[in-house]
Structure 1
């Protein structure tokens, strides 16, 4: 066991973030790594049991964390994002959820052997997927925008619906089995749900008004939202258990759709907090499981229940609910397969296990085992298969890493052409039709719009692109673009053309320090690159082999050569930058901008041959 609570908190954070890093480093599903890590330090080796060690604080910590995670997810639910997807999302979140509830309840009764009461409660609970499991999968899978958005919206909207369905089922059961039926409890449930939705909306509108009128300073905006989220969740949850999830979802969606600029800044803060909370909670929940619970997972009835939920209940609910929509067969197949359960199912199930057990339902003790079995098997199965399934169904944006170039000019057009020759996706973005003429003539994919505008955020699909290069004529704009997109692309994948020049070195030294790494060399400005293109410099590809080492290449290349990027055999691209060490290895291809020495030499030889021929 861990020596102290402080040491345990430290270890939970370390294991959670460590699991996220291992998953990123070895391209594995993060939720799978976190779940296995929690099982190892908890029931397997017995290093910790957070539920036992934290005592009465355990459940409130989990509940508040889930509320914050769900709010952060709903903060991304802008209605502009689902133009053309409203019908499938609505159908899946309503009719699909209802069908999954009924079929899941029947499966729990006839296969898992639960009583009707417990089966309908757990059936309602298991319709949830949620941002805690969907978001990490979407980050790693590179799905096409359409199925990705549907899965995201379904997960966030259905999360509170599933919890409310379970509460509703319990209230119905209590009403029907009572010796003196009283409808007041049902009325209270519906009133509490409406109250939670109105509370969340009011908190969202109130915070939006405070932001727009300047009543909250910038440095207090994120902390203020953080506290109001906890306030709305707690107040609604005190009125009726699990309605707090509905309140924070309503608050997040309200803030996302009232059009205030501060939401983008808060979103980055909330994303960072959510990653930390998801990591910690998965460790805590899995580490708190009992060995007996794990052993019961291998019961044939429980395994049969999980298999039917994954391969029968989910596909049927998706196919029936999407009849009449414009979803393709492949999209329906993917949506019918991907439905991992996560934190909300684990946390809410423990609550219902206790109250159903207290109400005299002996089979309620199986709820925790069933929940863990479904969570673990769906997380592992869907985590390891989503990329493969998406590729097989042609719904994946997998391929060579793409590059998004902001600014259309002679150099960026030629750079895009060289990347295109390497079969790497490339897109040029510019707000000027005149400047984009070069891209149109060269056959390069382009997007006409302002890179920093809200419309571009909703209409430009950035999923295929792993790198961003800002190469406009305005150095301050390049720096602003880089600063804006660093949270999305990562600091090592965002570049800008050097702002360096001899005339205005003081200003440029300031711009140089703002966002984005300098591409190629500090003393190679956009003007110089454009001039080299006008001087007929060529993009050359040089393979590094055992016979032709990189050192030899550096010694033999022309002094005026500018090293641009290398391409690994895997397709990975690494751009040269003085702030990043790039060392090509055998099998790599070095792409450079080279003086036209060979071409000039050939022209001279041709002229000499012609002169010699004429002389004869």
Structure 2
């Protein structure tokens, strides 16, 4: 009976832990604190050295659970990555994910060698264990602290965090083999890396396409799509690992393929994986707390702190500045990318590998990883929003997104039904604006279902449902939140080829001689951006209109308030008279004189 009681107690404690994890997500969003440290503390309290007295030294289980957790975390990151977002930052992200990880490990190694009394291979292994950033930790804290990163910076961090884990795993495993089996030639290591990368890419791409095909062809019962996709991700991971390919690269690429193709129940899959990755992080941190030994830490905590500080203030910044030097990042962006090198579940997973194979000083690597994760979450995690504001790379979110309802429509994959409550100060209600790619379908008012024509005019408190492409559903949010106060455009930005966002298309057409749709003549330029962009307006966003491009130069209150007028490139290299560009330039200057004198 005692054994049955122990099983019941284990079930109770496990359920309480999962419940605490679910509720803690609310605290994370409310306070923006790195609550993963709370679960680390739970593990330490429950462990052998704490009041719980639970003896846990099963490194094999830690490795298995860590592999599954990291695979799901990477798959989730790939699923949310859009091709359009990463295309412009693919090169710098890949350099950071490979050369950046190697440089970070190399710069950290000398400190580890002399501070921890290791040989060079052991020191490099220490650097490799803590060299990669953690995608889940980075974006959990960015979201929790209410930050909206500039698109280029956010996309770079997203792709780097997702793609540097496979290289860090490869580097760690290679060094573990060197320490356990002896020396290997540089050529052998290079060939092994190429084999893992190529096979991992092939398995990930093919596996992702097969999952998309299965989801769209097989009529699964409602509710089983998300478990099917998660299981398929682990199948892809396992097949790649068995084939001696990079399973982590394969599962990340499979996520990208699935996330960028129309599939059934896409939003339910994303929601399910959000919960799964959050719980995976919690399990990893509880296990870290269970495995750590405070008595063992006493002798290594000071040099481990030294390694952590060098990693944060020297190795990571040097690697980032060198890797991003060929690309057009300013020093503020480089500083922020350097500071957002958070360590989390990945370091825990990598630190368990030397312990699994029984390397000498294996516990030392684990202790160093423990200290690095603690310091990274404490210092970098809690100062993320402060650093973003000081370096001007992000704007704090002033409002929470509206509650969005998404319903898949059986029989097709191109459109879904997206629903919102209509707020009194929303852009939709105040300006009657809606994107050109969405279509109002029904309105619910006083528990009655109406067509848009029957409900005209839509009023505050109604619920409106629109047809929209699944990949653009999130972009509808900005039309159904309360509009922040608009701000006047900066007068220093107005001048030649710069106009206010409140000028209408009709005025622009009359003065500059461009053709506009008569039905849109009363729209302001700010309205035009809201309607035709498939994402929230950002500085630099451009839209064509007749023979010129409208470019967003400044934002205020979440909308475009200064617009630049950009001329197209000449098609004829050297016409005998005025070029088309010169003629348009003269027309624009005359138009600006008319506008500014009005």
For the superposition of Structure 1 and Structure 2, which TM-score range results when normalised by the shorter chain? 0.5 to 0.7
Matching residue of 2:298: 295
Q: 1:208 aligns with which of 207, 212, 237?
A: 212
Matching residue of 1:33: 38
* TM-aligned CA deviation for residue 343 of structure 1: 1.0
Contact 1:66 1:344 in 2 (8 A): yes
Matching residue of 2:135: 131
Q: 1:281 aligns with which of 284, 298, 303?
A: 284
Matching residue of 1:319: 321
Contact 2:288 2:370 in 1 (8 A): no
Q: 2:333 aligns with which of 326, 331, 334?
A: 331
Q: Which has the larger radius of gyration?
A: 1
Contact 1:160 1:249 in 2 (8 A): no
Q: Judging changes above 3 Å, is the alpha-carbon distance between structure 1 residues 153 and 297 closer, same or farther for their aligned structure 2 residues?
A: farther
Q: 1:162 aligns with which of 165, 168, 175?
A: 168
Matching residue of 2:437: 450
* TM-aligned CA deviation for residue 88 of structure 1: 2.8
Matching residue of 2:465: 479
Contact 2:95 2:323 in 1 (8 A): yes
Q: Judging changes above 3 Å, is the alpha-carbon distance between structure 1 residues 56 and 354 closer, same or farther for their aligned structure 2 residues?
A: closer
Instruction: Write the distance in 2 (CA, Å) between the matches of 1:307 and 1:488.
Output: 39
Is structure 2 residue 274 aligned with structure 1 residue 267? no
Q: 1:145 aligns with which of 150, 157, 161?
A: 150
Instruction: Write the distance in 2 (CA, Å) between the matches of 1:401 and 1:476.
Output: 20
Matching residue of 1:100: 104
* TM-aligned CA deviation for residue 197 of structure 1: 3.0
Superposed CA deviations along residues 532-562 of structure 1, whole A, max 9, x for unmatched, are xxxxxxxxxxxxxxxxxxxxxxxxxxxxxxx
* TM-aligned CA deviation for residue 184 of structure 1: 7.0
Matching residue of 1:395: 393
Instruction: Write the distance in 2 (CA, Å) between the matches of 1:50 and 1:24.
Output: 33
Superposed CA deviations along residues 433-471 of structure 1, whole A, max 9, x for unmatched, are xxx9x58xxxxxx88543689xxxxxxxxxxxxxxxx99
Is structure 2 residue 336 aligned with structure 1 residue 346? no
Instruction: Write the distance in 2 (CA, Å) between the matches of 1:183 and 1:278.
Output: 36
Instruction: Write the distance in 1 (CA, Å) between the matches of 2:331 and 2:42.
Output: 37
* TM-aligned CA deviation for residue 328 of structure 1: 2.0
Q: Judging changes above 3 Å, is the alpha-carbon distance between structure 1 residues 68 and 428 closer, same or farther for their aligned structure 2 residues?
A: same
Instruction: Write the distance in 1 (CA, Å) between the matches of 2:181 and 2:290.
Output: 36
* TM-aligned CA deviation for residue 287 of structure 1: 2.9
Matching residue of 1:428: 427
* TM-aligned CA deviation for residue 373 of structure 1: 0.9
Instruction: Write the distance in 1 (CA, Å) between the matches of 2:117 and 2:268.
Output: 49
Matching residue of 1:120: 124
Matching residue of 2:494: none
Instruction: Give the match's secondary structure for 1:397.
Output: strand
* TM-aligned CA deviation for residue 320 of structure 1: 0.8
Q: Judging changes above 3 Å, is the alpha-carbon distance between structure 1 residues 413 and 236 closer, same or farther for their aligned structure 2 residues?
A: closer
* TM-aligned CA deviation for residue 232 of structure 1: 2.0
Is structure 2 residue 50 aligned with structure 1 residue 45? yes
The 5 A counterparts of 1:458-469 are none
Superposed CA deviations along residues 456-515 of structure 1, whole A, max 9, x for unmatched, are xxxxxxxxxxxxxx9984999823589999x989x9x9889xxxxxxxxxxxxxxxxxxx
* TM-aligned CA deviation for residue 71 of structure 1: 1.0
* TM-aligned CA deviation for residue 46 of structure 1: 3.5
Q: Judging changes above 3 Å, is the alpha-carbon distance between structure 1 residues 302 and 61 closer, same or farther for their aligned structure 2 residues?
A: closer
Matching residue of 1:384: 382
Instruction: Write the distance in 1 (CA, Å) between the matches of 2:121 and 2:140.
Output: 34
Superposed CA deviations along residues 547-594 of structure 1, whole A, max 9, x for unmatched, are xxxxxxxxxxxxxxxxxxxxxxxxxxxxxxxxxxxxxxxxxxxxxxxx
Q: Judging changes above 3 Å, is the alpha-carbon distance between structure 1 residues 129 and 48 closer, same or farther for their aligned structure 2 residues?
A: farther
TM-score when normalising by structure 2: 0.64
Instruction: Write the distance in 2 (CA, Å) between the matches of 1:33 and 1:298.
Output: 20
Q: Judging changes above 3 Å, is the alpha-carbon distance between structure 1 residues 182 and 345 closer, same or farther for their aligned structure 2 residues?
A: closer
Instruction: Write the distance in 1 (CA, Å) between the matches of 2:208 and 2:439.
Output: 25
Q: 1:20 aligns with which of 8, 25, 30?
A: 25
Matching residue of 2:82: 78
Instruction: Write the distance in 1 (CA, Å) between the matches of 2:305 and 2:15.
Output: 35
Superposed CA deviations along residues 37-80 of structure 1, whole A, max 9, x for unmatched, are 3333336634264744x786443233222211221111112221
Is structure 2 residue 244 aligned with structure 1 residue 246? no
Contact 1:50 1:58 in 2 (8 A): no
Contact 1:229 1:248 in 2 (8 A): yes
Contact 2:63 2:352 in 1 (8 A): no
RMSD: 4.1
Q: Judging changes above 3 Å, is the alpha-carbon distance between structure 1 residues 448 and 108 closer, same or farther for their aligned structure 2 residues?
A: same
Q: Judging changes above 3 Å, is the alpha-carbon distance between structure 1 residues 18 and 219 closer, same or farther for their aligned structure 2 residues?
A: closer
Residues paired across the two proteins, number: 441
Unaligned runs of 5+ in 2: 1-5, 405-420, 441-454, 483-598
Contact 1:129 1:159 in 2 (8 A): yes
* TM-aligned CA deviation for residue 18 of structure 1: 4.3
Q: Judging changes above 3 Å, is the alpha-carbon distance between structure 1 residues 123 and 211 closer, same or farther for their aligned structure 2 residues?
A: same
Contact 1:20 1:279 in 2 (8 A): no
TM-score when normalising by structure 1: 0.62
Instruction: Give the match's secondary structure for 2:327.
Output: coil
Instruction: Write the distance in 1 (CA, Å) between the matches of 2:118 and 2:434.
Output: 56
